Structure formats: structure tokens, C-alpha cells
Amino acid sequence: MTIHARQVGKTSERVVFLHGLFGQGKNFTQAAKALRPDLTSLLVDLPNHGKSTWTDRIDYAEMADAVAEFLRAGFAANGPVHLVGHSMGGKVAMVLALRHPELIDRLVIVDITPGDSDGAGEFEHLLGSLVSIDLATIDRRSKADEALQDKIPSPTIRGFLLQNLRAGDDDRYSWQANLEVLRRDLATIGGFPELDATFDHPVLWISGENSPYVQEEDEERMRELFPRTRLVTIKGAGHWVHSEQPESFVSALRVFLLA
């Protein structure tokens, strides 16, 4: 499994970012630049996203092991690194920390829990909308945007989704994300594997004030797996905390990771 990543910064203090469903490592570019010069960031494309390998199924343990192997061979070769994961990437980050604790110093989980996540209906709708586009008729990105307007009224969400649309050398468009597998295995993405382990390092658990993904009843399971968890709620943020409240997000990271 080939993992693609891009490094931002050159200092010895290192942090890895894992994006959520439909995302790419570059979604954290703004945060990575804001953390310079104190931290060097690695922006990872998870399997089935961006420039990383497609797989024939979604499996959190396999994804976590693939990222761990990639880090062990390079970015974390000289010692443990910090790890930040949002949404689906947060679940990968939790599994990685539980299965490979020697690689991780401090862990940050953004607006997700180690359990079943609501929102499958929303993501099924988004995936179905993308799959419904006949790419043979698309000769420019704006045409794909027009095709989605009725099903996805928000221009912000359309823009985020359409970052996965790429034109090849022959000017034909294709999806970088493995939409068919993501759609088929959406229940797996929304779930979380049973793991008999704990991660006894500092953990910052960030939730968005206006997001439904982290609830009070989730704290017990989170603290069972991650006993040194500190929960912080970012005001004015929904699920995409890092893009909706970037200054507060970076400030929380800086305080926690450099403490």
C-alpha cells in the first residue's frame, strides 16, 4: 500500500495530520503553515484518497498499520511523533495509537469518537451525488459543479467534494477518491473496531460546539481507551473545526503539542 504525503517545515518537533472522508492531506496546509517554525508537519493522504493507493475494502486496522509502516520508515524513524486526526482520520489515528503506541507521543482527535458515528445518511447522499455524475460529459470543473447544484446546494460543500476531481493528460476527468468502495463500506467507516488496548499518553480531544459527533455519553469509552484525555470544545465550530475556526484550532494544537 503506497502512502502519499507532503512535508511542511524543517524543525525536529514533528506532527502528522490525517484527514477525514473525502479529504486530502492538503486540507491541513493552512494549519501546518501556521505551526511553523515550531513544528514540522506531515500531511498524509489516507488510502483511497488523494494520491495514495486504492484498496478493495475499508479496514481501520489495515489503514492504521499502513500509515504506521510509512511513518516508521521515514518521518518517525528517529523517534515518536505527534498525531492529529479529524473525523475518519481521527478513527485511523486512534487505532494507530492503540496498535503502535511506540510511534506516537501526543495524540489529537478532532470531532469524532471511538464508536459508531451518526451521519451515514448524509455521507450516502454525498457519495451517491458524486457517483451519479457522468464524467464522460464533463470537460471542465464548472460543469461538474453545475451538475451537483440541485443535490448539494452549498457551494462550500461542493467545492470541498470537487477537490477530488482531477483532469488527466487527455483532459478527461476522473475521481481521485475511491468512491465505489467508500460508498459500499460506509457502515465500516462509521463504526470502530473492538480493540483490547489503551494509549497512556496525553490526548487532546477537540469537538466543535455546533457538531453532533461528540456527545457527553461518549466520554466513558474515550477515557477507557485513552485515560489521559482532555476534552476541549471550540466555539462557533461545526464538524470541520480546522476550516471553520482555524485560529482557535491552531492555538489549541500549539498549546497542547508544545507544552
State the sign of the Cα–Cα–Cα–Cα dihedral 87, 89, 93, 95.
Answer: positive
| Pairwise CA distance, residues 110 & 35, whole Å | 17
CATH topology of domain 4-117+195-257: Rossmann fold (3.40.50)
pLDDT score recorded for residue 171: 79
| Tens-place pLDDT, residues 196-244 | 999 999 999 999 999 999 999 999 999 999 999 999 999 999 999 999 9
My answer on whether omega of the bond before 80 falls inside 30° of 0, hence cis, is no
Region 144-164: mean pLDDT is 93
Percent of the chain with pLDDT over 90: 91
pLDDT at position 169 over 80: no
Query: What span, in angstroms and rounded, lies between the C-alpha atoms of 223 and 21?
Result: 24
Question: How high is the mean pLDDT of the chain?
Answer: 95
Cell of 103: 510511534
Residues 80 and 102: beta-carbon distance below 8 Å: yes
Q: C-alpha cell of 131?
A: 457517483
Chain segment 235-255, per-residue pLDDT in tens:
999 999 999 999 999 999 999
- Between CA 193 and CA 188 the distance in angstroms is 9
| Mean pLDDT (whole number) for 46-61 | 97
Write the DSSP string, 79-103. S-EEEEEETHHHHHHHHHHHH-GGG
* pLDDT over threshold 80, residue 121: no
pLDDT at 96 exceeding the cut of 70: yes
Average pLDDT for residues 111-115, to the nearest whole number?
96
Residue 168 has pLDDT above 90, yes or no: no
**Spatial separation of the C-alpha atoms in residues 155 and 199, rounded to whole Å:** 39
Q: What is the pLDDT of residue 173?
A: 93
| First vs last C-alpha separation in the chain | 35
Lowest mean pLDDT, pick from 36-45, 52-61, 124-133, 163-172: 163-172
* pLDDT for res 259: 84
- Chain centroid offset of residue 135 CA: 26
Q: Which three cell numbers stand for residue 132?
A: 451519479
When pLDDT is cut at 50, 70 and 90, the band that residue 120 belongs to is low
pLDDT at 22: 93
CATH 3.40.50.1820 in the chain: give the residue spans. 4-117+195-257
Amino acid symbol at 19 = H
* CA gap 117, 134 in Å, rounded: 30
Higher pLDDT, 122 or 175: 175
**Is the pLDDT reported for residue 8 higher than 70?**
yes
Residues annotated as catalytic are 87, 180, 239
Q: What is the pLDDT of residue 105?
A: 98
Whether 186 and 165 have beta carbons less than 8 Å apart is answered as no
* pLDDT at residue 93 greater than cutoff 80: yes
pLDDT at 119: 61
Classify 191 as helix, strand or coil: coil
What is the number of other CB atoms lying within 10 angstroms of the CB of residue 84? Answer: 27
What average pLDDT does this structure show over 113-132? 86
Type of residue found at 231: L
The answer to whether 259 touches 90, Cβ cutoff 8 Å, is no
Task: Give the tens place of pLDDT for each residue, 76-90.
Answer: 999 999 999 999 999
